[in-house]
Structure 1
Amino acid sequence: MLMKLENIKNKELKRFLEHAFYIAITLILIPAFLYFEICIVLPTVVEQWSLAFFCHLGCASFLLLNIMGNMIYGMFTNTTIKGRNLEGFNKDEWTLCSVCECLRPPRAWHCNTCDICILKRDHHCTFFACCVGYFNHRYFMLFTFYIFVAMVYSFYFNVKFVSVFITWNHGLILVKFICPLASIVIDFGDESLYVFLVVINVLVGLFTGFLFIYHFNNILKGRLVPETKNYTKDFIHNKGWKLNMIEVFGSRWYLTWISPFIISKLPGNGIEWPVDDKCKLY
């Protein structure tokens, strides 16, 4: 019994430290990158206090609002079975979770990191410090989408900005792009720092772009990450791209892209999964 309690405490400590580390990176990296773009890059490539300057400032504010808003909503939206009334449902296709010691609905899986079963669990998001499930799937998708858009948007200006400071140096600048972190340690200066930030810009853009495309493709097919292995053309939860979109983004799916504060009611409850009428509109 004591060993079990000790394992639980160690697991909770590991989970806390892991989440704290990644959340700290996210909360430090986003403001730092924003400061670099707004206070250093933008005044260099656009005339300060001009109409273009304020237009880009407005775009940056819009992107930041959506990135941080979707992140916060994604982190604090409960998508677990905790606190939900699971009685009164047909439990023919429910499975037993040996860890939670309870029956769980279809498409719900236990997360070893969160240590609880998640409704319509897609995957565990380290940067959210929780799982992506039925009620916060929308926020994860828009979080990755807007980070990708922000990286693409800033890349153009970053290249123009860095080109002002770069010198060829017989091709040594290529080494700084290939090994940006090492170049900061060996030859710390404005050029090395700016090259490092551009490389980070590209890597984050590629990573979030891949995440968004991969998961958006799953949404269009009505599947989750755990379901990709056994996915077939006649997958029972595939209701067509539009209903699949509504299942994740809600009835106002076409407006949720504007702001995380827009209310868009989901068609179900994450517990029941009727599959008899695929043509029914919510």
Structure 2
Amino acid sequence: MCFKSNSLLLNLNLKNHIRLKRVLEHSIYLAIIFILLPVFIYFELCIVLPAVVEEWSVPFLIHYCCASFLILNIIGNMIFGMFTDTSVRGRMSHFRNKESWGYCSECDFFRPPRAWHCDTCDLCILKRDHHCTFFACCIGHFNYRYFIMFTLDVFVAMLYAFYYNVQFLSQFISWNHGLIIIKFLFPLASFVIDFGPESVYVFLVLINFLVALFTGFLFFYHINNVLNGKITPENKNSLKSVHDKGWKCNLIEVLGTRWHLTWISPFIYSPLPGNGFEWDIDDKTD
């Protein structure tokens, strides 16, 4: 009896520790996003753009519209991704054929194929791909679309911004006995050595470049998985996925029946053909 009590107490403490870690971890990353994003938007639209394009000219207004489109899509896909529930919870009562389902000891019930338990969320997630720290939730069957489009929009925005950031920096940057190289290699150290607008601008452009690399890698990695009918846990197997139905059907499975319009806005309704529980592995096309 004492052993059971200690075991329950240990499990409770472990779950509380995981929850606390999740809250702290996500709070830090979300704070970075909600602080860095407004700063970056201000830098690009209020400092860089007027310096490289004549203010309130036709090109200036076009750039403003393009930037607003990307910002709305980035924020919209992030919000939809965060608040779209893709867990197994509350969705299983009407499914009777559970022969191919596996047992989850953490949740103490049978879960459908391609569903995995997330220790951070403490839930089984439908078609779980991974846990996204920036979304503060798991990426699964119902919100994979928003994650894919979020990475694409951020990648395009970073490339777009980087092109004009280079033009902006070239207007005032100076060699200064090699100090500019230190600012690029050690941007935080340059704040101490030579703090000023130039150091801040170099730091923001470096962040811009690194985020472009990171989100570009994420987008191309995940879109390759999508086109091959795989999720990240299944990608360890180099063989062809048993869920591969051809690139178009694979795209529709993730982006929905209006897959060709989902890049325009997260608000466009694009219903998914599946329910996340039942997977037909026989209906494959080459």
TM-score (structure 2 length as normaliser): 0.95
Q: Match of 2:63?
A: 56
Note if 1:32 corresponds to 2:39: yes
Residue 233 (structure 2) pairs with residue 244 (structure 1): no
Q: Which amino acid aligns with 1:97?
A: C
Q: Which residue of 1 aligns with 2:12?
A: 5
Corresponding residue number in structure 2 for 1:125: 132
Specify the SS of the correspondent of 1:103: strand
Between the aligned partners of 2:62 and 2:133, the Cα distance in structure 1 is 33
Structure 2 gap segments, 5+ residues each: 1-7
SS at match of 2:171: helix
Matched, 1:177 2:184: yes
Query: CA–CA distance in 2 between the matches of 1:241 and 1:12?
Result: 38
Deviations 1:50-91 (CA, angstroms, capped at 9, x unpaired): 111111110010000100000000000000011212443321
Equivalent of residue 83 in structure 1, options 90, 104, 114: 90
Deviations 1:255-282 (A, max 9, x none): 0010000000000000000122225xxx
CA distance in 2 between counterparts of 1:88 and 1:159 reads 56
Superposed structure 1 runs of 4+ greater than 3 Å apart:
none
1:156 is displaced (CA, Å) by: 1.1
Question: Which residue of the partner structure matches residue 144 of structure 1?
Answer: 151
Query: Residue 163 of structure 1 corresponds to which residue in structure 2?
Result: 170
Partner of 1:270: 276
Take 1:161 and 1:189, find their aligned partners in 2: how far apart are those partners?
16
1:164 Cα deviation (Å)? Answer: 1.6
Equivalent in the alignment of 2:199: 192
2:265 maps to which of 255, 259, 264: 259
What is the one-letter code of the residue matched to 2:235?
T
Is this contact kept in 2: 1:223–1:231, CA < 8 A?
Answer: no
Does 2:214 match 1:207?
yes
Matched, 1:68 2:75: yes
Are positions 1:114 and 2:121 aligned together?
Answer: yes
Greater mean alpha carbon deviation, residues 176-185 or residues 195-204: 176-185
Secondary structure at the counterpart of residue 165 of structure 1: coil
CA separation in 1, counterparts of 2:190 and 2:127? 45
Q: How many residues align?
A: 278
Q: Distance in 1 between matches of 2:278 and 2:50?
A: 53
Q: Gapped runs of 5+ residues in structure 1?
A: none
Q: Which residue is 2:25 aligned to? A: 18
Q: Distance in 2 between matches of 1:52 and 1:201?
A: 22
Map Cα deviations across residues 95-124 of structure 1 (whole Å, 9 max, x no partner).
Answer: 000100110000000011111100000011
Instruction: Supply the AA of the counterpart residue of 1:150.
Output: A
Does the CA contact (< 8 Å) of 1:94 and 1:103 recur in 2?
A: yes
Distance 1:42 1:259 in 2: 24
Three-state SS of the structure 2 residue aligned to 1:228 is helix
Identity of aligned pairs, percent? Answer: 64
Distance 1:143 1:245, change over 3 A: same
Q: Distance in 2 between matches of 1:185 and 1:47?
A: 34
State which drifts further: 201-210 or 170-179: 170-179
My pick for the range that moved more, 20-29 or 79-88, is 79-88
Q: Report the Cα distance in structure 2 between the residues aligned to 1:98 and 1:231, rounded to whole angstroms.
A: 29
SS of match in other structure, 1:110: strand
How far is the alpha carbon of 1:7 from its aligned partner? 2.2
